Amino acid sequence: MLGGLALSKSVKQVRAVAVTGATALMALAAYLVIEFLSLRAAGDVSPMLFTGSWTWFAPLNINLALGVDGISVVMIVLSAFIVFAGVFASWNLKPLTKEYFMWFCLLSTGVFGFFISIDMFTMFMFYEVALIPMYLLIGVWGSGNKNYSAMKLTLMLMGGSAFLMLGLIGIYFHSAPEGGQLTMNILEIAENNAIPHEWQYYLFPMTFVGFGVLGAMFPFHTWSPDGHASAPTAVSMLHAGVLMKLGGYGCFRIAIFLMPWATQELSWIFLVLTGISVVYGAFSACVQTDLKYINAYSSVSHCGMVLFAILMLNTTAMTGAVLQMLSHGLMTALFFALIGMIYGRTHTRDIRKMGGLMQIMPFLGVGYVVAGMASLGLPGLSGFVAEMTIFVGSFQHADMFHRVFTVMACCSIVITAVYILRVVGKILFGAVQDEHHKTLTDAEWHERFAVVTLILAVAAIGCFPNFFSNIITEAADPIMKLFA
């Protein structure tokens, strides 16, 4: 796809290639799900399916090892959806359309590569491949204080990955019992379970914080609001929708899966931090006046919820966490797409300067309301399913500590309702604030297409949660047995 883009000359060709590529991705993802389900139905119970391994760097036992389990399948579906919608959302992007889509593709390559890797080295490599295009995507095509945000975002995320790299190499050197063959393969490491406890004590925080930075864990979340606010629409979508999930997925796949002992010992620290993220993000969203900042802080809150649920260490909460990733990915992408479209018309994102947009652009208004409802957990949409599962899972812990934090996190739903309804009331209803806004038009066909796709996905998860939750539970169950 990158090759195709490089060759295409005109803007039209670029678009054609991008759409074809994204559609192919969707088709492949769907095919993957079908194949995956049929194999599982046929009774294949190995932890990863479609595994393949090719030796890459023999001296360090680095392999290009690929494979998927239920959780990665779900994440791949999510990524495919958002890339697809993102291409449509950046339809009229200028200038340098070709370069934009090339970076966009590189970013998606990183994301998909990350989700299918089961080798720490390749996983880390794809992780960084997904990070660096952000700098240029925000720096060149962004808006507002873009230089500052792009630099801040890149440096903070790379700072996280510095810790991560050290942690991964540390894991590698303790991946096998004394004298055994060291390995980078996650499954083999988990099977060996040979990392000494005193090392787990250092390596777990390192890897968890490393991924946690990308998962916008308090106090490492500060890149996220600035970054999202300055990024172009599709990049915000992909970033909040997929990239932040890399953090959650990595925390789970590497930190928790490989170091169960340290997880149990140290999870309380991170539980406190993620608990703060959840509540703090929601409160911050209440006082922002910039649409993108509101949504960015709400992402901090929701992504905090993902990490929070993962740290609950039981199957129900874990299933909820992945559902939350899925649901938040879709609805936040929807939000950012809509905000981009509204901004593209009104040229302001300040909610104090907007009002009565429902009369002017009903389609976008309705879309915004649907996204908001999903975000605050209206039954029938995706947010409800995910949050419900998380809280049920979290409450299974009988001790006071977990329960207090669960109740705290539950409160964030109420706060979410506050900021969502505040925005909806302010910009969609009420009197029109600006005379110029009356002349604006509603969404064009490609925008409608992106929005409808995402809304359908959100509703589908809300109405048929079992389809996904079964796949996830199946994958989460064996891992969470480590903590039973």
Partner 1 sequence: MDYSQFLMMPQELGLLVVFLLVFLFDTFMPKKSLGALPVFTSVLFGAFTLANYFLLARGTAFSGMFETSATTFVMKAILNIGMLIVLVQSIKWSNSEFQAVRRGEYYELLLTTLFGMYLMISARHFLLFVIGLETASLPLAALVAFNKNRYESHEAAAKYMFTAIFSSAIFMLGLSFVYGLTGSMYFGDIAARVLAGGNSVLLITALAFVIAGVGFKLSLVPFHLWTADVYQGAPTAVTSYLSVISKGAAAYAFLIILVQVFGSVYSAAWEWMLYALIVLTITLGNLFAIRQRNIKRFLAFSSISQAGYIMLGVVAANELGLASLMFYVLVYIVSNLAAFGVVSAIENYSGKVSIDDYNGLYKTNPRLAFTMMLAMFSLAGIPPFAGFFSKFFIFVGALETGSVAIYVLVLIALINTIVSLYYYLLVVKAMFIRQDDCIIPTFKSACSERIAMTACTLGIILIGIASCIYTFLVEAANADNLIFGLLK
Rounded CA-CA distance 61/57 in Å is 6
| Binding flag, residue 115, partner 1 (CB under 8 A) | no
Nearest to 367 by CA among 300, 296, 447: 447
Backbone φ and ψ for 21, nearest 5 degrees, come out as -60, -45
| Binding flag, residue 172, partner 1 (CB under 8 A) | yes
Rank residues 59 and 179 by Cβ distance to partner 1 and give the closer one. 59
- For residue 477 the two structure tokens come to 């169950």
Helix ranges restricted to H, 347-399: 357-360, 362-375, 382-395
Distances (CA, A) of 463 to 5, 149, 265, 306, 449: 38, 38, 38, 21, 21
Q: Which positions from 410 through 449 interact with partner 1, judged by CB under 8 A?
A: none
Among 6, 27, 60, 407, binds partner 1 (CB under 8 A): 60
Among 4, 47, 139, 144, binds partner 1 (CB under 8 A): 139
Among 155, 404, 411, 414, binds partner 1 (CB under 8 A): 155
Number of residues engaging partner 1 in binding (CB under 8 A): 32
Q: In whole angstroms, how close is the CB of 56 to partner 1 at the nearest point? A: 5
Q: Please choose, out of 149-157, 238-246, 264-272, 335-343, the segment that lies near partner 1 by the rule CB under 8 A.
A: 149-157
Rank residues 206 and 386 by Cβ distance to partner 1 and give the closer one. 206
Nearest to 238 by CA among 112, 143, 356, 355: 112
Q: In whole angstroms, how close is the CB of 11 to partner 1 at the nearest point? A: 17
| Binding flag, residue 125, partner 1 (CB under 8 A) | yes
Beta bridge partners of 350: 290
- For residue 337 the two structure tokens come to 């797409």
Among 50, 91, 135, 343, binds partner 1 (CB under 8 A): 135
Residue 423's SS3 state is: helix
Rounded CA-CA distance 101/117 in Å is 24
Q: In whole angstroms, how close is the CB of 85 to partner 1 at the nearest point? A: 26
| Binding flag, residue 166, partner 1 (CB under 8 A) | yes
| Binding flag, residue 84, partner 1 (CB under 8 A) | no
Is the CB of residue 229 less than 8 Å from the CB of residue 289? no
Rank residues 165 and 358 by Cβ distance to partner 1 and give the closer one. 165
- For residue 412 the two structure tokens come to 């964030």
| Binding flag, residue 140, partner 1 (CB under 8 A) | yes
Q: In whole angstroms, how close is the CB of 166 to partner 1 at the nearest point? A: 6
Rounded CA-CA distance 371/334 in Å is 7
Among 72, 154, 233, 394, binds partner 1 (CB under 8 A): 154
Nearest to 344 by CA among 450, 456, 452, 457: 450
| Binding flag, residue 165, partner 1 (CB under 8 A) | yes
Distances (CA, A) of 344 to 210, 233, 441: 35, 10, 11
Rounded CA-CA distance 45/256 in Å is 21
| Binding flag, residue 56, partner 1 (CB under 8 A) | yes
| Binding flag, residue 121, partner 1 (CB under 8 A) | yes
Rank residues 2 and 37 by Cβ distance to partner 1 and give the closer one. 2
Does 219 sit behind a cis peptide bond, omega within 30 degrees of 0 on the bond before it?
yes
| Binding flag, residue 11, partner 1 (CB under 8 A) | no
Rank residues 205 and 393 by Cβ distance to partner 1 and give the closer one. 205
| Binding flag, residue 58, partner 1 (CB under 8 A) | yes
| Binding flag, residue 129, partner 1 (CB under 8 A) | yes
Nearest to 235 by CA among 153, 323, 322, 124: 153
| Binding flag, residue 170, partner 1 (CB under 8 A) | yes
Contacts of 265 (CB under 8 A, 6+ apart): 200, 201
| Binding flag, residue 466, partner 1 (CB under 8 A) | no
| Binding flag, residue 1, partner 1 (CB under 8 A) | no
- For residue 470 the two structure tokens come to 């079964």
Q: Please choose, out of 84-92, 134-142, 357-365, 368-376, the segment that lies near partner 1 by the rule CB under 8 A.
A: 134-142
- Residues lying near partner 1 in the complex (CB under 8 A) are found at 55-60, 62, 121, 125-126, 128-129, 132, 135-136, 139-140, 146-147, 151, 154-155, 158-159, 162-163, 165-166, 169-170, 172-173
